[in-house]
Structure 1
């Protein structure tokens, strides 16, 4: 039997025989059934069974049926998650590569996420789905790294009307830039009792949103390139929500609350 510590040999057999683990799944199957379901030759299946048994990934039962061991189930699930993660990234290379310090973002944010690539001719249209979710939001928390007016427009047109509890944290120079083009709107937001607007002196690496509605929570990363919208990563997993909340809280705690008078002075 191959020693349990021989990780290289285990990885090799998983690479070669994973489809058989997936074929057996949570059932019990005979070799003829595995041959039929996997559409592989009897010789290939015999070799696979021998290799998988030697690594204690499957075991033989009465009637020459085979099932996965606990070790086999763990291996199958891990490879399945890995494949799903790679599949989710396959069509989003440009989008992911536009992120700063992507290694600081938990991989769960990208696993099973929904990606929306911006149309260069109308980049903000990729936010329409999120805007629709915000119409029923009860709480909205966000950071802002780019002086785009879409956030101001969303707050004024949707969030303020619904008295949604809102917390926005933006870099100081972003707020100054927005004040040059939308000062009246910023003053209106700052005077709204349901909105807290914070300014921070240090750079914020990501534009992150957390949206609470009566039926769901959604975490959003808005990706930028050259000041424009590159695309959106959306995920409603609890891991994503928790990470984005902590991220927003961290910068918000270092921020200074913006008032109507402070915007007037910009």
Structure 2
């Protein structure tokens, strides 16, 4: 399942016009490194990709796309290993809410340095 995400993100980053910042729970990071090590290494190898590790639980996947002419935000709920629901919008109040949530999570996270898995 996550392999498809890596394909999409790695292709996106190869185009060279994007930056990516991901906040991951510690358990999720460990699972990714265990099950998708080579795909993770490729993604982590891009200079425009940064990872942050959150020491706690994040109850949903939250993502923001800053792109002209309209920004978008999405939230995805996972349950029992699969997607339970997803919402995408360009609503200004939703984007403001998502930015606040994201900033709070990032402020409470630790930046993953490239040498942490060597």
**Higher RCO (C-alpha 8 Å, min separation 6):** 2
State the aligned residue count: 118
Matched, 1:171 2:25: yes
Structure having the higher Rg: 1
Deviation beyond 6 Å, 4+ runs, structure 1: none
- In structure 1, list runs of 5 or more residues that go unmatched: 1-123, 125-147
Q: Is residue 64–residue 71 contact of structure 2 (8 Å, CA) maintained in 1?
A: yes
CA distance in 1, matches of 2:117, 2:5: 17
Alpha-carbon deviation of 1:186? 1.7
Aligned to 1:219: 73
Does the C-alpha gap of structure 1 residues 224 and 174 become closer, same or farther in structure 2, counting only changes over 3 Å? same
Q: Distance in 1 between matches of 2:47 and 2:96?
A: 26
Alpha-carbon displacement from aligned partner over 1:119-157 (angstroms, at most 9, x marks no partner): xxxxx8xxxxxxxxxxxxxxxxxxxxxxx3443332212
Q: Residues of 1 paired with 2:114 and 2:106: CA distance? A: 18
Displacement of 1:223 after TM fit?
1.7
Aligned to 1:228: 82
* Displacement after TM superposition at 1:248 (Å): 1.1
- Alpha carbons of 1:187 and 1:263: their partners in 2 closer, same or farther (altered >3 Å)? farther
**Structure 1 partner of 2:60:** 206
Does the 8 Å contact 1:190/1:258 carry over to 2?
A: no
1:135-154 equivalences under 5 Å are: 148-154=2-8
Alignment root-mean-square deviation, CA: 1.8
Between Structure 1 and Structure 2, the one with more helix by share is: 1
Give 1 or 2: higher strand fraction.
Answer: 2
Q: Could you list the runs of 5+ residues in structure 2 that have no partner in the other structure?
A: none
Comparing 238-247 with 151-160, greater Cα deviation is found at 151-160
What TM-score do the two structures reach when normalised by structure 1?
0.41
